């Protein structure tokens, strides 16, 4: 079957609840661990069934947010997802209370029970209406951004389609593109403020009802974080300020010299070279062919994986009207299928997102053998190691995509990876402050973003853009609205991906072996245990950054970027 043949049918919630409750009764009345395992299998299949339909509705809605049918189906899951979470919560409570718990731990692993206990803390039937409201608000933000139709150079374009103009070698084009994009956000500034204001309030209300001090602690539990807390992250951000921000500032000065601009404004930052940014030398279909060649040569496992993705049409890559922004990978349980979603626009980002999301998909493909659904995927910071490391493992084949621009691409890729660490930490600090002070006014939130933005990007100048100068740059960041506190995971993973990159310079086979081992493990171990499995150092530990930064600096310093 191909993706378009995957059957969608709205779940019958009454029948679903009835069947789930019967399976729970069977579990609770079981006289031994074997009988409880049989009930668990039935419960897991119900979870797979509901999750599969939710994923199909979400994917097809994001492919075309104007599709009336899937718009209604997305609303259905916004309303009924929390109700299914209530059933899942009952299962977790029964699992923890099992008289055969020790035997089940031996069969299923301790981590399942740790995850169950953590999940129980994040849910109560008393918060159902608030969860529904949170889902609806996050969807409203996605739909608002997807609705963008910006008049530019004689055509209407969505936000993804504006990206190439922001990287134009012509400064007036870059400035005009920036003005057009921020004009869209400025037009909807009040609405974006309103959506976020409501999200902060409802998330804080949920946290208080569940007994958390603030939404921050709830968000950490939602993300499955067991090995570290907000204090560890704060210490990590401190290291970033001390070590990464100065390095990014030095790279900015090199860019300023390359571009021969003084001052450099915000709309200049997306351009890396006066000769133009590196671009893939073909269209979407051509890039997929290059990826097929790459994964065929990379390993037998990647060859089988990417062939599976192509044959089943599990890639939707082109930007088009009505399509949601961004890129993602998700897993359709009943079909054992990863799915990759992207918005190609002719920039280097097309290759970045293809290799990045392929890293996620490869992990899902390699760990789908786990009998415990909770082990199919790791927590977010580990999942992003899979994706960001795949970007670097693609380097030996990157010339197939970029031809004469290969060296430019590698310089930009490393530089931007360092920039992402600053960017993700800025967003993380913003969110920690927001949820520690949920009653901040809209104006105070903007002042907060402005000060944090300046801390992590001291060289950024907004020219005459009043909207950005006022501290509104966070309004278009999907993660802030839809997946709070997720952005830091990208940066933690980036430090781990840097480690794989460094190791692959000296022993490519060993680095790849450890990477595959990490992917196969899925989420069957905790964050720190998975790092040990893959022979990676903990990014929170002081000194870990220092083990990779010199190698990155040496590589970048060895390149004469003035000739690009």
Token pair, residue 296, equals 């065929």
Looking at residue 332, the DSSP 8-state letter turns out to be: E
Q: How far apart are CA 348 and CA 164, in angstroms?
A: 10
| Amino acid 425: pLDDT | 98
**116-123: average pLDDT:** 95
| Amino acid 48: pLDDT | 96
Q: How far apart are CA 530 and CA 537, in angstroms?
A: 10
Residue 255 sits at φ, ψ, to 5 deg, of: -65, -40
**162-180: average pLDDT:** 95
Q: Where are the alpha helices (DSSP H) in 371-457?
A: 380-393, 399-402, 406-436, 442-456
Q: How far apart are CA 414 and CA 510, in angstroms?
A: 22
Domain residue limits, the chain: 3-134
190's CB contacts (< 8 A; 6+ apart) are none
Is residue 95 within 8 A of residue 116, CB to CB? The reply is yes
Spacing of C-alpha 387 from chain mean position? 9
Q: How far apart are CA 94 and CA 406, in angstroms?
A: 55
According to DSSP, the residues that pair with 155 across neighbouring strands are 152
Q: How far apart are CA 322 and CA 429, in angstroms?
A: 32
| Amino acid 494: pLDDT | 98
Report pLDDT digits (tens) over 469-485. Answer: 999 999 999 999 999 99
Token pair, residue 29, equals 């009345």
507's CB contacts (< 8 A; 6+ apart) are none
- Grade residue 406 by pLDDT with cuts at 50, 70 and 90: very high
Report pLDDT digits (tens) over 56-93. Answer: 999 999 999 999 999 999 999 999 999 999 999 999 99
pTM of the entire structure? 0.93
- Grade residue 14 by pLDDT with cuts at 50, 70 and 90: very high
Residue 521 sits at φ, ψ, to 5 deg, of: -70, -20
| Amino acid 145: pLDDT | 94
Looking at residue 6, the DSSP 8-state letter turns out to be: S
| Amino acid 527: pLDDT | 96
- Grade residue 110 by pLDDT with cuts at 50, 70 and 90: very high
| Amino acid 228: pLDDT | 94
Percent of the chain with pLDDT over 70: 100
**520-534: average pLDDT:** 97
Percent of the chain with pLDDT over 90: 98
With b meaning 16 or more CB within 10 Å and e meaning fewer, what string describes 364-399?
bbbbeebebbbbbbbbbbbbbbbbbbbbbbbbebbe
| Amino acid 336: pLDDT | 96
Pick left, alpha or beta for residue 29 (phi over 0 → left; psi -120 to 50 → alpha; otherwise beta): alpha
- Grade residue 106 by pLDDT with cuts at 50, 70 and 90: very high
Looking at residue 180, the DSSP 8-state letter turns out to be: H
Spacing of C-alpha 20 from chain mean position? 31
Is residue 285 within 8 A of residue 273, CB to CB? The reply is no
Report pLDDT digits (tens) over 245-281. Answer: 999 999 999 999 999 998 999 999 999 999 999 999 9
The DSSP H or E segment spanning 213 is: none
Residue 317 sits at φ, ψ, to 5 deg, of: -115, -20
Spacing of C-alpha 317 from chain mean position? 16
With b meaning 16 or more CB within 10 Å and e meaning fewer, what string describes 537-549?
bbbbeeebbeebb
According to DSSP, the residues that pair with 156 across neighbouring strands are 151
* Nearest Cα residue to 17 out of 80, 70, 60, 65: 80
3-class state of residue 10 by DSSP: coil
Q: How far apart are CA 349 and CA 417, in angstroms?
A: 12
For the chain, what is the radius of gyration of the CA atoms? 24
| Amino acid 17: pLDDT | 96
- Grade residue 173 by pLDDT with cuts at 50, 70 and 90: very high
Is residue 315 within 8 A of residue 340, CB to CB? The reply is yes
3-class state of residue 330 by DSSP: strand
The DSSP H or E segment spanning 294 is: helix 284-298
Q: How many angstroms separate the Cα of 273 from the Cα of each of 70, 171, 254, 419?
A: 42, 12, 11, 16
Helix axes 487-506, 406-436, angle to 10 degrees: 150
With b meaning 16 or more CB within 10 Å and e meaning fewer, what string describes 424-452?
bbbbbbbbbbbbeebebeeeebbebbbeb
* Nearest Cα residue to 277 out of 419, 412, 423, 415: 412
The mean of the pLDDT values for the chain is 96
């Amino acid at each position: 079957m191909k993706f378009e043949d995957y059957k969608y049918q709205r779940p019958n919630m009454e029948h679903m609840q009835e069947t789930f409750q019967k399976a729970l009764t069977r579990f609770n009345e079981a006289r031994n661990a074997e009988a409880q395992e049989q009930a668990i299998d039935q419960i897991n299949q119900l979870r797979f069934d509901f999750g599969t339909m939710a994923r199909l509705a979400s994917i097809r809605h994001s492919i075309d947010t104007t599709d009336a049918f899937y718009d209604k189906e997305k609303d259905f899951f916004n309303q009924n997802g929390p109700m299914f979470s209530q059933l899942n919560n009952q299962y977790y409570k029964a699992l923890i209370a099992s008289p055969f718990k020790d035997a089940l731990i031996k069969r299923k692993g301790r981590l399942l029970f740790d995850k169950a206990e953590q999940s129980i803390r994040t849910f109560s039937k008393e918060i159902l209406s608030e969860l529904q409201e949170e889902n609806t608000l996050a969807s409203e933000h996605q739909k608002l951004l997807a609705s963008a139709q910006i008049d530019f150079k004689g055509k209407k374009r969505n936000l993804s389609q504006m990206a190439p103009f922001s990287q134009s070698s012509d400064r007036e084009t870059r400035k005009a593109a920036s003005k057009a994009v921020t004009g869209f956000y400025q037009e909807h500034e009040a609405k974006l403020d309103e959506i976020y204001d409501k999200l902060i309030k409802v998330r804080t209300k949920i946290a208080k009802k569940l007994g958390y001090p603030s939404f921050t602690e709830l968000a950490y539990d939602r993300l499955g974080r067991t090995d570290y807390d907000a204090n560890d992250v704060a210490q990590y951000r401190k290291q970033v300020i001390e070590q990464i921000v100065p390095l990014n500032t030095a790279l900015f000065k090199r860019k300023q010299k390359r571009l021969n601009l003084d001052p450099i404004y915000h709309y200049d930052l997306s351009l890396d070279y006066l000769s133009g940014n590196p671009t893939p030398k073909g269209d979407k279909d051509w890039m997929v062919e290059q990826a097929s060649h790459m994964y065929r040569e990379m390993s037998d496992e990647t060859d089988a994986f990417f062939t599976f993705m192509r044959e089943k049409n599990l890639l939707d890559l082109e930007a088009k009207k009505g399509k949601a922004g961004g890129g993602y990978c998700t897993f359709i349980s009943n079909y054992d299928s990863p799915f990759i979603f992207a918005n190609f626009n002719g920039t280097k980002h097309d290759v970045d997102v293809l290799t990045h999301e392929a890293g996620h998909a490869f992990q899902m493909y390699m760990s789908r053998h786990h009998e415990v659904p909770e082990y199919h995927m790791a927590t977010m910071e580990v999942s992003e190691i899979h994706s960001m490391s795949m970007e670097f493992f693609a380097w030996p084949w990157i010339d197939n995509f970029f031809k004469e621009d290969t060296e430019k691409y590698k310089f930009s890729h490393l530089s931007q990876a360092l920039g992402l660490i600053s960017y993700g930490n800025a967003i993380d600090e913003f969110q920690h402050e927001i949820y520690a002070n949920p009653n901040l006014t809209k104006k105070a939130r903007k002042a907060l973003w402005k000060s944090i933005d300046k801390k992590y990007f001291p060289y950024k100048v907004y020219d005459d853009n009043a909207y950005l100068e006022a501290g509104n740059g966070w309004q278009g960041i999907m993660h802030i609205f839809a997946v709070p506190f997720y952005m830091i995971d990208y940066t933690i993973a980036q430090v781990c991906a840097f480690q794989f990159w460094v190791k692959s310079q000296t022993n490519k086979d060993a680095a790849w072996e450890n990477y595959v081992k990490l992917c196969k493990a899925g989420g069957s171990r905790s964050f720190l245990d998975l790092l040990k499995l893959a022979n990676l150092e903990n990014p929170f530990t002081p000194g870990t950054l220092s083990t990779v930064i010199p190698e990155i600096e040496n590589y970048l310093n060895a390149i004469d970027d003035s000739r690009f």
